[in-house]
Chain A
């Protein structure tokens, strides 16, 4: 169980971490700037197990992997209607599962939520509303379960398609 951080459509990677902070590769340093302009309280208040909920096209824009790194460092789950193509790959490659839902989220910002990964359900514990999550494609699951793309390739040696 964790708290919901609800965002709208087209949240760009510039919004997740502005470009001028991407001059270091230190994950702990980068984490300080998560949603720096948009929600300055995020970094102080976010806890591992919280769920970041996006609308459509979450993580559009710049290819900076720093955006996926800061979310991994915060220890949050990710659920959105859809993702920017590059950002979605970056998450998978770093072992963060970009979960998707077809319906527009009814979950309220700040509410306590429960994520059931086996039944693929996200529940707002306060209002009782339930979001159904899409099944994750097998190839994506294979990379995720290995712990990321590097770990997948270390095991599989090559892409198995």
Chain B
């Protein structure tokens, strides 16, 4: 009897006990992790390369803000040119782009040089986050090794109340499982609350699996036969009831330090960031625009909105969302990328800055100064906070 993750990984590989070697469909990496992967690849005795499996995305610093980063990006492009590898520069954030461009398919296995690669489970694939040397080895062999993880089942049931989003569901389970609770394990999501959500709305739930240090995650899906065997045993089972859920917020300096927004309401804020792989989709821009429409953001708050991809940006332009957001006084930053989430450009925090961000992790120093503070919330809470200049409950604006 197998879990969904066990089924996918055993179908794609050969296992000896729990130790398995699996075939990979796609190998994704970006401008932070690729340069070191090229260095490692150059050390292989021969340069056989699975070039058709490789996808390289420039998103962590586009365009580069420092000479070292610019040098690395040219180094990456020369590598892509040499081997005829596909790459995307300025098109958007790797994970959203991978879904948008159709690289992620049910029953697939994708490795990515980024810790949030497990998100591909929203479309029924096993995504494995890895470092640069593992990426280079995948380029070379088309395979990777791992110990097949046991799964934790997370059942999400009920109807979402007004002002509560899929990000609040994500924060609810991260609080429950904690930062280390997913170690060496996979998360499998199921339950009626997920019905009717498309892959983009599921993204915050999939992304935040990394914040429990899970190996991977997958959404169980009957339509693609991604269902566990009857009577399968899980490492653990967690149930999240969304009916009574309130807007939630992860407080400094840990993604599992989750409180209700009402507990921390009124805390002064000087930056709001709506975007990232976690909450930069068209759904998130619609949510933000709905709250910002006809209102003005607080002038003492730097409000930044980053669509996750160019396609999302264009769709938002067509729907008039960008106009609404700009009208409110917020800044829309392009090209799309990871920007403020990693504290490298497009809105880094200074000493004593307090930021409400729709990204995924808030470790000390994550977004800039170690004396800054980051709160992680939904785009609804972030937009309401931008209006008030203080952490605010979005429900009074909906």
Q: Do A and B bind each other?
A: yes
Q: Which of A's residues lie within 8 Å of B, judged by CB? A: 9-10, 12, 14-15, 18-20, 22-25, 37-38, 56-57, 60-66, 68-69, 82, 84-87, 89-90, 93-94, 139, 148-151, 153-154, 158-159, 161
B213 to chain A, nearest CB (A): 5
Give 21 A-B contacts (CB < 8 Å), ordered by A residue.
Answer: A9-B180, A10-B254, A14-B363, A20-B368, A22-B32, A25-B35, A25-B72, A57-B179, A60-B213, A61-B115, A64-B131, A65-B131, A87-B131, A90-B133, A94-B133, A148-B133, A150-B43, A150-B133, A154-B44, A159-B141, A161-B20
Tell whether A12 pairs with B363 under 8 Å between CB atoms, given A68-B131, A139-B19, A161-B19. yes
Count A-B contacts at CB 8 Å.
142
Shortest distance between the CB of A5 and any CB in chain B (Å):
18
A59 to B215, CA, bound (A): 14
The answer to whether A161 touches B21, judged by C-beta atoms less than 8 angstroms apart, is: yes
Q: Which residues of A contact B35 (CB under 8 A)?
A: 25
Contacting pair A86 B130 (CB below 8 A)? yes
Point out residues on B near A: beta carbons under 8 Å.
14-16, 19-21, 32-33, 35-36, 39-40, 43-45, 61, 66, 68-69, 72, 113-115, 117, 129-134, 136-137, 140-141, 143, 145, 179-180, 183-184, 210, 213-215, 254, 342-344, 348, 361, 363-366, 368, 370
- Measured in the bound complex, the distance between the Cα atoms of B66 and A18 in whole Å is 16
Q: Knowing A23-B69, A25-B72, A158-B141 touch, does A37 contact B133 (C-beta < 8 A)?
A: no
What separation, in Å, do the CA atoms of A60 and B114 have in the docked complex? 12
Provided the pairs A22-B32, A139-B145 are in contact, do residues A86 and B131 lie with their beta carbons within 8 angstroms? yes
Which residues of chain A have C-beta atoms less than 8 A from B213's C-beta?
A: 57, 60, 84-85
- Please name the residue on chain A nearest to B37 by beta carbon: A65
| B-chain residues with CB within 8 Å of residue A161 when the two chains form the complex | 14-16, 19-21, 145
Say whether B215 contacts A85, CB under 8 Å: yes
B370 and A82 form a contact (CB under 8 A):
no
Closest residue of A by beta carbon distance from B15: A161
The answer, among B132, B133, B183, B344, for a CB contact under 8 Å with A19, is: B344
Tell me, in angstroms, the Cα distance from A68 to B36 when the chains sit together.
12
Beyond A24-B72, A153-B141, A154-B45, whether A19 also contacts B179 by CB under 8 A is no
- What distance in Å separates the Cβ of B183 from its nearest Cβ neighbour in chain A? 6
Instruction: Report the separation of the CA atoms of residues A151 and B40 in the bound assembly, to the nearest whole angstrom.
Output: 10
**Minimum distance in angstroms from A21 CB to a CB of chain B:** 9
Interface centre among A62, A87, A149 (most CB of B within 10 A): A62
Q: Which chain A positions have C-beta within 8 A of B344? A: 19-20, 23
Known A25-B39, A63-B130, A66-B36; judge A37-B180 contact (CB<8 A). no
Instruction: Kindly report which residue of chain B lies nearest to residue A138, judged by CB atoms.
Output: B19
The residue of chain A having its C-beta at the shortest distance from the C-beta of B31 within the complex is A23
Q: Say how far A7's CB is from chain B's closest CB, in angstroms.
A: 13
B179 touches A10 (CB 8 A): yes
